[in-house]
Structure 1
Amino acid sequence: MRLLHRLVLTTGAMCAAFALAVVPASANPSTTWTATPNPANISAVVSGYTTLTAGTPLVCTQSTMQGSMYSAVGNPATVATFNGLSFGTSVSPCQTALGIATFVPSAPWHFVAVDYNPATGVASGYLADVYLRISEGISCVFTTAGKASATYRNSTGVLSVNSVPGELAVTSVTSGCGTTVTTATLPTFRGNYIIRISGTTTAPTLVGSNP
């Protein structure tokens, strides 16, 4: 009985210590999101290229987004809206192993914030309402929809989109894709967008807090 009592006390102390160690890491998630300026009309240009991988990589070296960033309350919270979406140009179209690829997005897309790290100035979350109709090569046509994990870094003004399999789904395959793209395919979407306040070289900032 004395040994059992010691074990109970020791276990209880360990659990209490563990609870104290764990709780602060998940406590006080950001519920107030402050954009500066508020609202900020923004433009975004891809740095390098965007890649949508659905069976094979589809690469766009030209991609832009237009919209606004704004303050919000809640968690998760929508803090940016992108209405103007462009992938590829007539001079530099998107490319795939099957030939030229055409991306037709359905706007708006939204950046939803769920966490903020004050040490790094990085807000993490995801792009929501992502929808693309894609024509690949001569005859492959399909649509993809869902979300894509993303972070926004204040120091550089870069929105990094880095989705993981399962966030996006192929919602329909119209024709000509064979086994390359099916409704079982799980696309990924990746790209780094440099965001600036429209007409300037200044990046907006987004700070999460729990007042």
Structure 2
Amino acid sequence: MERTIVKRSLRKLALMAGTMFVTFGLAVVPAFANPSTTWTANPNPAAISGVNSGYMSLTAGVPLVCTQYSVQGSMYSAGGNPATVATLGTLTFGSIASPCQSALGGASFTASAPWRFVARDYNPATGVTSGYLEGVQLRVAVSACQFTTMGKASATYRNSTGILSVNSVPGELAVISALGCGATITTGTLPVLRGNFLIKIFGTSTAPILVGSNP
């Protein structure tokens, strides 16, 4: 009887482990044996604009959410690894009609530009470039609380959809100043930024293409 119970428990653990492996496997971006050193943008350079695809969230003590946001900048060819392949020169979060929100009420986001997309890996099978946004800086005001966060944020760009996906992990961003936020948000807070920009070549409905190679 005990042996049967042990076998059943082992099967359950194996199933759970397999499920966790699949779940986390979907989120892991593989590192390739020969990292790209040549990055080719088409067109080059490409003036780009982007709008929200879904919502952008900044979790810093409390979640802050923007359902409307936009970006303008450029994407271009580059060499090296890592390599800066895009500059986001204008970023706007929220609007009068659709302001950013939090559990404490309306929130305002002011970005200090530029943010730069730095490429690290390219997957030719999926057309996805993985890397990070550097120079990320946001000044946030919520009720009487004002704080500034800065650092970098993990990101990917997918050619087939034109989605620039921002998915930072704890420790990439840090609060560098906080006023009127009490113990909720302090200089020890490590915010997480997540959201998607739908990128197009400026004035068109076509996404730019970014390809990494190792000649």
Scaled to the shorter chain, the TM-score interval is 0.7 to 0.9
Equivalent position amino acid for 1:186 in 2? L
Show the counterpart of 1:78: 84
Q: Where do residues 6-25 of structure 1 align in structure 2 (5 Å cutoff)? A: none
Alignment pair present for 1:166 and 2:171: yes
Find the partner of 1:99 among 96, 102, 105: 105
SS of 1:48's equivalent? coil
Aligned to 2:213: 209
User: What amino acid sits opposite 1:31 in the alignment?
Assistant: T
Question: What is the deviation of 1:27?
Answer: 2.6
Residue matched to 2:60: 54
Moved over 6 A (4+): none
TM-score by length of 1: 0.86
Inter-partner Cα distance in structure 2 for 1:152 and 1:96: 28
Name the counterpart of 1:185: 189
Aligned-residue CA RMSD in angstroms? 0.8
Per-residue Cα deviation, 1:93-126 (whole angstroms, up to 9, x for no partner):
0000111101111000000000000011100000
Code of the aligned partner of 1:77? A
Q: Residue 10 of structure 2 aligns with which residue?
A: none
Query: Is residue 118 of structure 2 the alignment partner of residue 118 of structure 1?
Result: no
Q: Are positions 1:153 and 2:158 aligned together?
A: yes
CA distance in 2, matches of 1:179, 1:93: 25
Which entry has the higher C-alpha Rg, 1 or 2?
1
Amino acid at match of 1:102: S
Structure 2: state its 5+ residue gaps: 1-30
Post-superposition offset of 1:26 = 4.4
- Between the aligned partners of 1:35 and 1:128, the Cα distance in structure 2 is 19
**TM-score (norm. length: structure 2):** 0.85
- In the aligned structure 1, how far is the partner of 2:177 from the partner of 2:62? 17
Distance in 2, matches of 1:160 and 1:109, equals 14
Alignment partners' CA distance in 2, 1:162 and 1:146: 13
Q: Which amino acid aligns with 2:110?
A: V
Q: Which residue of 1 aligns with 2:149?
A: 144
Q: Which residue of 1 aligns with 2:20?
A: none
